[in-house]
Amino acid sequence: MAEDLVLDTAIRDWVLIPLSVVMVLIGILRYFVSKLMRSSQVPDPKIVKEGQVIVRARNLRAGANFIAPKSFRARRVYFCNEENGLLHMPKGQAQNAQAQMFSDPNMAMDMMKKNLSMIIPQTLTFAWVNFFFSGFVAAKIPFPLTQRFRSMLQNGIDLSTVDVSYVSSRSWYFLNLFGLRGLFSLILGEENATDDTQRMMQMSGFGFDPSKSLGAEKDSLDIIQHEWALPKFEQRAETVLKDLVR
């Protein structure tokens, strides 16, 4: 049976609170450091244009039912025409995103700076936590959990008799590492609050791939089933007027 532990208030004052404060400060400091290391280069007009085309195509799909059928078909041909459509990219002009990165040294340097600004602080912070706070039971979740959460919440504690709701100091570090996006959105703004999960996902990619994005948007616009909403509005307005007259 799982044992109930009484957590010392000194652990709260010298482990839980300092660890949380340090993780927030490191996240804010890393944001400003990455902002300073970012090279001020003019964006490629072609990439900006392709991004705007994708936004326009998505807006067309979102409001397709509010456009007359003839107008929608004309707009879809304008975007999806195989000869000169805005979303059509010939195979010879499609440039691989990885090749684009290696052809542009500034892009490769920015990617390296972003990776370093994430890896170095987190490596040092994890070494600090593992050296000073390893083995502490730092907190308790106020609701029961299943045994599947033990490996996630009790990293560094090899005691199967401890209740799953107790959180080790090392697991508290990882919870703060991947769960502070909401707090960073309040401090830095929604657009600047990129959490570490997204940063790790961005490390596996090499930038914007226009051929894939344009092709995916073209396929989505081709298969959309248009249903004009105006006749339904007229029927609904007629029904409402009849109810008012009665």
Dump the DSSP string for 79-114: HH-TTT-TT---GGG---HHHHHHH-HHHHHHHHHH
- What is the band of 203 on the pLDDT scale with cuts at 50, 70, 90? very low
What's the pLDDT at 42? 63
What's the pLDDT at 200? 46
> 41 or 246, which is more confident?
246
- What is the band of 184 on the pLDDT scale with cuts at 50, 70, 90? confident
pLDDT greater than 50 at residue 56 = yes
Sign of the torsion formed by the C-alpha atoms of 239, 241, 243 and 246: negative
What's the pLDDT at 204? 43
Q: How far apart are CA 122 and CA 188, in angstroms?
A: 19
From start to end of the chain, where are the E strands? 137-140, 166-168
Residue 117's Cβ-side half-sphere holds a number of Cα atoms within 13 Å equal to 22
> 242 or 96, which is more confident?
242
Mean local confidence (pLDDT), 72-87: 89
Which 8-state DSSP code applies to residue 148? G
Mean local confidence (pLDDT), 4-25: 87
What's the pLDDT at 179? 85
What are the residues whose beta carbons fall under 8 Å from the beta carbon of 188, sequence distance 6 or more? Answer: 28, 31
Dump the DSSP string for 6-73: ---HHHIIIIIHHHHHHHHHHHHHHHHHHHHHS---PPPHHHHHHHHHHHHHHHHHHTGGGS-HHHHH
Q: How far apart are CA 241 and CA 246, in angstroms?
A: 9
pLDDT greater than 70 at residue 156 = yes
Count helices and strands in the chain by DSSP H and E runs: 12, 2
What's the pLDDT at 94? 52
Name the 3-class secondary structure at 195: coil
What are the residues whose beta carbons fall under 8 Å from the beta carbon of 106, sequence distance 6 or more? Answer: 39, 41
Residue position matching structure tokens 């390296």: 112
Q: How far apart are CA 57 and CA 88, in angstroms?
A: 12
Mean local confidence (pLDDT), 203-215: 61
Lowest mean pLDDT among 152-156, 209-213, 221-225, 232-236: 209-213
User: 87-129 pLDDT, tens per residue?
Assistant: 877 665 555 555 555 555 666 677 777 777 778 888 898 899 8
Residue 196's Cβ-side half-sphere holds a number of Cα atoms within 13 Å equal to 22
- What is the band of 201 on the pLDDT scale with cuts at 50, 70, 90? very low
Backbone angles phi, psi at 154, to 5 degrees: -125, 45
pLDDT greater than 50 at residue 170 = yes
What's the pLDDT at 90? 64
pLDDT greater than 60 at residue 191 = no
